[in-house]
A = this chain, B = another copy of it.
Amino acid sequence: MRSVYISGVGMTRFGKDPRPLVEIFCQAGQQALAASKEQDVEAIYIGVMNPEEFTGDSNIASQIAEALGLTGIPAVRLETASSAGVAAIQAGFQAIASGYYRRVLVLGGEKMTHLSTSATTRILAEVIDKQERQCGATMPALAAMITEKYRQKFRLSHSTLENMLCAVALKNHLNSSRNSLAQFQRAITREAYLASKFIATPLRLYDCSPITDGAAAVILTSEKTDVRLSGIGQGTGPVSLRERDVFTSFPATRIAAARAYQMAETSPQDIDFAEVHDAFTPFEIISTEDLGFFAPGKGGEAVIEGKTALEGPLPINPSGGLKARGHPVGASGLAQIVEATKRLRGQSQSKRQVKRGLTQSTGGLGTNNFVTILERADLPMVQSSGLPWSPPAAPGTAGKKTRSRSISDEGEIETFTIVYVTPDGFLPPLALALIRDRNGGLVMAQGEDTGHLKIGREVYLRRLDDSYLFTVKSQLQKVQESLKRLLRRSAASPAREERPVEEKP
């Protein structure tokens, strides 16, 4: 495989951008072209998630080629939900590695701020499984349920979890305050974090990345430059929560990381810094565990201890991350690569020489993830210090569809959240829980009220149109049920065949 290098990069100031989407793309593209030694590219690879619904733009690859004055040359659009920017890098990488092209322009972008928050939330929520959406689930709601499960699995108190999430938010805002292209240019305080309202418990406003417009651009080339794209990997995971058998890790990241580390012949301990997909603060913690930087359950402590701070041993999201640099979905994965390239080139506020960076991008709720490794091609690299990395054993990646399985009328809470910012048609506060029924199947359900929610609690479950409704059992109900079961068992004579009630004529 031919080596692939990064030449010029470009990025718009993230935030609210009044220009049409195609113009935003063009600015980033022209910057990258202007920053490259050679300005002629043979093709354009474009990552964008949903211009059809966000801005009414179809046929966007041809539109962008024309607007850049490059009509004639090949242009394609790639999409893998919110990791589309890296999907475009991967396709461009493969095209150059094959020798089909020598130099390509890769673009990633999205325009979202012109719509209302509820319209944007609705479009973003389309990446979620339909049954879960019908219950009122949003991306923050599902992220919140994963967070609650993480808290329970690793036996963290509410306040310990809160401290961890707060530490991620504070660190990333501090980092973005030094990044002139970031959406948020100021640090936040612990008090401001704690005062911010809940979106879906335990996630507050400051745990969620903002709605953003922006674009990023990278020129990939077969000619040697100072930065080499030395590893790239991708993995997928189940779309719905109810098809998963692991909630506190994203197997798609582990698959992607295994390929990227193997290609780059390196290991987590050789990485100098990383840009990871912190669409929600807990996802930064989970990602650093999935990437092998910290043991499962230890990512939060690492943030609190300053290990991932800008001046720590392994800076995570030195640019501010999605959380504070902003998250124009199709741009984010590519923006990570732009930031990592700048950092390797020493254009960032780093005091240390850094030689090897990693980026990790997530599509949907961990359903289509990428990992890339970038390294200085002009500096002597230390031989990989560790053993070849293999991802920590993760319980299977599921993928078996249970659509037609019938759901029993009782079960217990696998995880839950209370949603305060609900999609149209759902009134807050909305209790949502993933329920494991008596047959071992999982289903998303709305709670009759928001009280008594806890992982493991027993519930009654009933169907309600396209959705499910759950009610937490009271202590009295549980005692009554045990009594009934006892009575039934003693009444059943072994000689008489017992028929279920519902089979009577």
A interface list, Cβ under 8 A from B: 1-2, 43, 49-50, 52-53, 56-59, 61-63, 65-67, 69-81, 87, 90-91, 93-100, 123, 126-127, 233-239, 243, 251-252, 255, 363-364, 367-368, 397-401
Residues A67 and B401 in contact, CB atoms below 8 Å apart: yes
* Complex interface: chain B residues within 8 A of A235 (CB): 72-74
Pairs A–B under 8 Å by Cβ, sample size 30: A1-B98, A43-B234, A49-B58, A50-B58, A52-B53, A57-B126, A58-B123, A59-B127, A59-B367, A61-B80, A61-B363, A62-B81, A63-B239, A67-B401, A69-B401, A71-B236, A72-B236, A72-B237, A73-B236, A75-B368, A76-B79, A76-B90, A76-B368, A77-B80, A91-B94, A91-B95, A94-B94, A97-B98, A97-B100, A98-B99
By Cβ-Cβ distance, the 4 closest A-B pairs, closest first, are: A71-B399, A98-B98, A74-B234, A97-B98
In the assembled complex, the CB of A162 is this many whole angstroms from the nearest CB of chain B, namely: 31
Are A99 and B1 touching (Cβ within 8 A)?
Answer: yes
Give A232 Cβ to nearest chain B Cβ, in Å.
8
Cβ 8 A contact of A363, one of B59, B243, B363, B399: B59
Contacts of A239 in B (CB 8 A): 59, 62-63, 66
Q: Which residue of B lies closest to A252 (CB)?
A: B72
Residues of B within 8 A of A238 (CB): 66, 71
Assess A91 versus B67: contact at CB under 8 Å? Given A99-B1, A368-B62: no
A106 smallest CB distance to B (angstroms): 13
- Whether the Cβ atoms of B94 and A81 lie closer than 8 Å is no
Measured in the bound complex, the distance between the Cα atoms of B63 and A237 in whole Å is: 9
Return A143 CB to nearest CB of chain B, in Å: 15
B236 touches A368 (CB 8 A): no
> A130 — nearest CB in chain B belongs to which residue?
B56
Alpha-carbon distance between A399 and B235 when the two chains are bound, in angstroms: 38
